[in-house]
Structure 1
Amino acid sequence: MNSLVSVIVPIYNVEKYLERCISSILEQSYNNIEVILVDDGSNDDCPTICDKFKRKDARVKVVHKPNGGLSSARNAGLEQMKGEYITFIDSDDWVEVNFVERMVEAISKSKVDVVQCGYCKKNDDNVVYVSTLTNEIVYGKDKILKSFFVTQNYQTMACMKLYKSEIFRKIKFHEGKNNEDTIYFADYIDKVNSIQVINDVLYNYYVNTNSIMHSELTKRKVEDAYFSGEYMLKKCEEKYPEFAIYMRRNICDFSIGLYMQADKSQKQLKKEIYTKFKNNYILLVKSSCLDIKKRLKFWLFYKNQFLTSKFWGIKKSL
């Protein structure tokens, strides 16, 4: 168990958190790693920090490139990787000291294509959320999609996973869009025939309120969200039709989230979001894919968006 693992870190203007991230990787109990730091045109001190770590540790490679976005940075890292396995770590996150060792141990033993671990969401003050995943090894696309859509155990995020690198010799991340993890999931699911989920909490996800995900809602953000959701929906309709209804459920779910992010002045944007929700909701209203909680939430939003926003906003704050 000494395979080379490529660790790709896309970096953009995160000087406050970058040393924590890189240090957590270089301090891994598993030593046979190459760490590919991709500076995506940062205009803070990130380029200097990257170069400093390169001088200190021969396992570190640095790529400096013009700003092109998260997917562009990940793709630039993929062009440099030489490992048998690959993992992605976001530059404001950090990993436990045995992250790579435990993931390599799992993938080597089970012989699967991808392993996903548990994770912890944290902000500057405390722990926000700890994942509650179920240990499982899954073979076959139908069962993988069931784990994703039905039990919702396996998830879309590119991070928190260890992949056979050969997967990424066939696909790349879709550039120029936010919500790129859903798009990449739709692409790579065709290349994956087995996955493993381990409930070990090995990845620390930092809830950065300055990130794109937590920034002001814009028309571009909404358009990208629906592009990624409808990209996955189209893939299901073409290749995995039994799961298309679940993707419509997911689109309804994130529609409500987007609606609740919009402010009072964004009336037209709210109208567009509600229309997207309604078009999907009427196709799944009688579906068994909705549990009682989601059925109530969707019905309430369908009837009265204001009350839903108030009710779920209060619930989230408790």
Structure 2
Amino acid sequence: MNDLVSIIVPCYNSERYIDRCIKSIISQKYKNFEVLIINDGSSDNSLQKLEHWEHLDSRIHVISQSNKGRSSARNVGLNESKGKYVTFIDSDDFVSSNYLLDLLRGLSHGEDVSMVGLTLMDSHGECIKGDRRRNRKLEIDNNKVALKKVLNQRPDVEVCGKMFLKSLFSNIKFPEGLIYEDFLVCINAICLSDTVSYIDAPDYFYIQRNDNTINRSFDLKKMDIIKVGHEVERIVCNTFPDLSVLVKSRLFAAYSNVWLQIGDDNFKESSDILWKEIIDCRNLILLKKITNKKVLIGTYLSLLGRKNYKLLYLFYKHQK
């Protein structure tokens, strides 16, 4: 296989991390790729660094736009890409030298999507979660089985660490103006695919930064999870109606994760709205078979009421 792969990298104020990211990309053992880096209105020295790399390697193409968000940047990259396959790397993350080879191995039998393992790192490059020693086993599934795995977060819904047949994106765009966009796009792509592969290889290193949109403390933008969640539920249930309990259990976790970030009364209305979504999910999945242990525990803890649910969850998280 020697097909062109398009690597799309949205970049916003990543001067501290972008060199490491690009070095890991140009060190790939698979060489037939293009890198589309979309400078999304950076106000630091990111653009100067990007232009330096563009001058050094003809496979790197820098596109600048005013700050419109990660979804817009990825859509621009998709529009400009020429590869048969596409993969996404965030500018503060990095990948192993086998990243493209492993993902392409997962597509070598005609699959539409391939996935590799993700290792969670802190901003200093120290491993937080994930094991670099994996068995590199290749699993090939139909889209329904793959969807079950992703809804159970094995692996999770990030578009990073995955490679897609580019033609899938003729029917998919990243939703601009929303966060949690990966959740929606990943689920949609798998539902539209025929077969999906997963390789248990530690090829994508995700940097967990406290200042990024998802990890920072609660703000009203995080209420996007409800709009995204409802659309995910619609797509899954339209494609596989018998997975309604599984998607509800995944949404129970997603809504709970955001609700638990609300720490004071300044967001009481948002707290009430999210709690209602949590209870709606719980009422559908209660007494049903739930394979995710954390969701199972959370479902029954939520029966004790809002205050106790939060206290017991935080205690459980601290013990972990």
Same fold flag (TM > 0.5): yes
Residue type matched to 1:114 in 2? V
Task: Return closer, same or farther for 1:136/1:28 CA change in 2, 3 Å cut-off.
Answer: closer
2:275 matched to 1:274?
yes
Structure 1's unaligned 5+ residue stretches are: none
**Aligned equivalents of 1:15 and 1:301: distance in 2?**
43
Corresponding residue of 2:143: 141
1:211 aligns with 2:181: no
Runs of 4+ in 1 over 6 A off after TM superposition: 131-134
Structure 1 pair 238–106 and aligned structure 2 pair: CA distance change class (3 A): closer
User: Aligned runs of 1:38-49 on 2, under 5 Å?
Assistant: 38-49=38-49
Q: CA, structure 1 residues 135+148, in 2 after alignment: closer, same or farther (shift >3 Å)?
A: farther
Task: Give the RMSD, CA atoms, in angstroms.
Answer: 2.0
Q: 1:114-172 deviations in whole A, cap 9, x for unaligned?
A: 1100111011353111068994534433323233335x434321110122222223322
| Counterpart mapping for 1:253-264 below 5 A | 253-264=253-264
Residue type matched to 1:263 in 2? G
Q: Is the 8 A contact 1:135 1:198 kept in 2?
A: yes
Alignment match, 1:123: 122
1:85 aligns to what?
Answer: 85
1:133–1:153 contact (8 Å) kept in structure 2: no
Deviations 1:48-71 (A, max 9, x none): 111111111111101001111111
- Whether the 8 Å contact between 2:112 and 2:196 is mirrored in structure 1 is yes
- Compare 6-15 and 229-238 and name the one that shifted more: 229-238
Question: Who is 1:53 aligned against?
Answer: 53
Alignment of 1:33 with 2:33, yes or no, is yes
SS at match of 1:16: coil
Q: Distance in 2 between matches of 1:264 and 1:276?
A: 19
**How many aligned positions are there?**
315
Identify which range, 33-42 or 123-132, moves more after superposition: 123-132
Residue in 2 that maps onto 1:234: 234
Deviation, structure 1 residue 276: 1.2
- Write the letter of the residue equivalent to 2:106: A
TM-score between the two structures when normalised by the length of structure 1: 0.92
Aligned to 1:112: 111
Q: Can you give the 5+ residue segments of structure 2 that lack an aligned partner in the other structure?
A: none
User: How far apart are the structure 2 equivalents of 1:293 and 1:212?
Assistant: 24
How big is each residue's C-alpha offset from its partner over 1:31-86, in whole Å with a ceiling of 9 and x where there is no partner? Answer: 11111110011111111111111111111101001111111000100111111221
* Alpha-carbon distance in structure 2 between the residues aligned to 1:15 and 1:206: 14
